[in-house]
Amino acid sequence: MRNAPTILHLDMDAFYASAEQASKPSLRGKAVVVGGLGPRGVVATASYEARAFGVHSAMPMAQARRLAPHAAYLVPRFGLYRAVSEQVMGLLRELSPLVEPLSLDEAFVDLAASGAASDAESARRAGVRLREDIRAVTGLTGSVGLAASKMLAKIASERAKPDGLVLIEPGTERALLGPLPVRTLPGVGPATGDHLRRAGMTTVEELAEAGEDELVRLVGKAHGQALYAMALARDERPVVAERETKSVSVEDTYDVDIHDRLRIGLEVRRLADRCVRRLREARLSGRTIVLKVRRYDFSTLTRSETLRGPTDDPAVVREAAERLLESVDTTGGVRLLGVGVSGLADYTQEDLFAQAARPSRAVPTAQEPVPEPAAEASVPEQPHWRAGQDVTHAEFGHGWVQGSGVGRVTVRFETPQSPPGRVRTFLVTDPDLRPADPLPLVPTAAAGSPAGDRLPSRTDGSGASAGR
């Protein structure tokens, strides 16, 4: 393990909910819950104000509504989250060539790889400056952990939340880990935690005292050896630069099971088109088409078909997904559908029409724009407005949907840079009201200058731990 805390772990604070609060001035400082709003929805992220009521990620949305009935409940806007994540990851890559993203809002950084830090003080300065740059560029906050290993850096960032920085000095790791619950260690989930508790081990120090042989006896050789090493604060895992994408996929969970076979087919076509759009955005193509179906009884089936070469042709992917659907029994209804493409490459084989398309159908070339989802033909005439959705009105400008029902939609008109806006109600069919793209959280000019001016001299700043 290293002798300096040069591994940094960044975890953005309540990322989705914080992005929604930054985007909607009327929600700042208030309880916000982001996730699926239907009967089967689950919480993706809750703001710290909502967490005070006991709401947390992965909780059923119905339970969250009982705990925090006055919170704002919003659908996720992944386009916005991805855009902000790209800004954050860009700042991390300016800091070091070794960045290991774990999700949209979390990553490890090896500060030593670029010379950004070589000891505790320079690592702290780099962490402080990174947090400042993230706030300047995105308007959001992130918590930073610094340590000599990945495991300890992640533990440090958890202790730093929200909006803080914690550095674990080399030599203090055992003292810090000892009193912590065994669930703190990576790989110790509820089942393993309960098993260790029944054996009389509830803290990390008790794991260390039990010894490697006892842990191997309890949980097996590989897991036992790893647990013992972690209990002694040993973690030699390197920061691994961003891995290549192995697959691209999309899926939807439906509030009510779909029984109509025609509707299921339309949904599969729509998902295939969405998947191809993601492929093209990433400038990739793929050979293997995968269909995922979760049925009414929660059983999940996957079917796949491998083509002769990679493609990003929407018709090829649609027709392959439709063929795969033909082999799936959807009697009883389906609750989830997904389409994915794997076996990725950065080129496209031009003659794939012969391998996947039916002879009677004309297939557009790979250079054609991806058409809009075919399922739109089955959408009711009245538009469906979802809470949190961006909209624009010909007279009132940009806003977001607060709610809809009984043929009406309520919109609050405000932007990230405006004061809290006014609320107005319209007929859901109002021709002046249209869906819109999310607005940047920070104006482009402001986002470009602070970080751009500071990044080259990032390690020359100074500062102390921001605490929790």
Catalytic residue positions, numbered: 106
Write the CB contacts of 77 (distance below 8 Å, at least 6 apart in sequence). 19, 20, 388, 389, 390, 438
Q: How are beta strands 165-167 and 142-147 bridged, if at all?
A: parallel
Question: SS3 of 410, please?
Answer: strand
Residue type, 390: D
Task: Determine contact, residues 332/295, Cβ cutoff 8 Å.
Answer: yes
Contact 274, 376 (CB under 8 A): no
Question: Sign of dihedral through CA atoms 321, 324, 326, 330?
Answer: negative
State the chain's maximal CA–CA distance in angstroms: 72
Please count the residues of the chain. Answer: 468
Both tokens assigned to 461: 């700043």
3-state secondary structure of 19: helix
Contact 117, 126 (CB under 8 A): yes
Say how far apart CA 468 and CA 261 lie, in whole Å.
53
404-427 residues labelled b (16+ CB within 10 A) or e (exposed): beeeebbbbbbbbeeeebeebebe
317 within 8 A of 281, measured Cβ to Cβ: no
**Residues 264 and 254: beta-carbon distance below 8 Å:** no
- Under 8 Å between Cβ of 284 and 325: no
| Residue owning tokens 């001299």 | 457
| Other CB atoms within 10 A of residue 160 CB | 26
Identify each DSSP E strand in 375-445 by its residue range. Answer: 390-393, 397-405, 408-413, 422-427, 433-435
Pair 335, 40: CB distance under 8 Å: yes
